[in-house]
Amino acid sequence: MAVTPEMISAVRMEVADTDPAIPLMSDAEITYFLQKKNENITKASLDVARVILFKLSQQGDETVSVFSLKGSKAAEQYRLALELYLKNPHLNPVLDGLGSYTDENGKVQNPIYAGGISNSDMLANTSNPDNNYVPNPIYQKGEENPFNGPWSI
């Protein structure tokens, strides 16, 4: 499938490059990132936003007569907006590929599991003879455990 003008417009909307008089990125540049990311708009928009930030950071502050252009301020404000975008788990495209989905009630579910953290996981791991573990030197397996609790083996 080829990159369409609608895809380019969607990326522009994601990264707030919506001023038709002074676009921050050309259509060819956005097309490159869309092709690089297999036409995934959210992933391409993350790369485009990074490039826009680099472009804005190269602009310095200039004063000509009574006019003053603050290029560094624009880069700082765009960086702050980009940080807010990335910290929001509902907006961050990186978190989209980690197994999160929206259920029928519209609630975002994230089935990512980190094993070995809960007490029941630790107890199941130590009671499984197939798992390797370091025995407690105070007592041998089968003897009375002086430490009763989830952290004991």
Tally Cβ neighbours within 10 Å of residue 127: 10
Q: How far apart are CA 59 and CA 70, in angstroms?
A: 8
pTM of the entire predicted model: 0.54
Residue-level pLDDT at 112 = 65
Residues listed for the chain: 153
Query: Taking a C-beta distance cutoff of 8 angstroms, is the pair 85, 74 a contact?
Result: no
Among 118, 114, 90, smallest CA distance to 102 is for 90
Residue-level pLDDT at 76 = 83
pLDDT by 10-residue block (mean), the chain, 153 residues? 90 89 91 92 88 81 76 80 74 58 68 69 77 64 58 54
Question: Between helices 5-15 and 27-36, what is the axis angle to 10°?
Answer: 90
Query: Taking a C-beta distance cutoff of 8 angstroms, is the pair 52, 21 a contact?
Result: no
Query: Taking a C-beta distance cutoff of 8 angstroms, is the pair 3, 39 a contact?
Result: yes
User: What's the token pair of residue 80?
Assistant: 């702050």
Residue-level pLDDT at 129 = 78
Burial of 87 per CB tally in 10 Å (0-12, 13-18, 19+): exposed
Evaluated on CA atoms 134, 140, 146, 148, the torsion sign reads: positive
Residue-level pLDDT at 64 = 78
Q: How far apart are CA 10 and CA 6, in angstroms?
A: 6
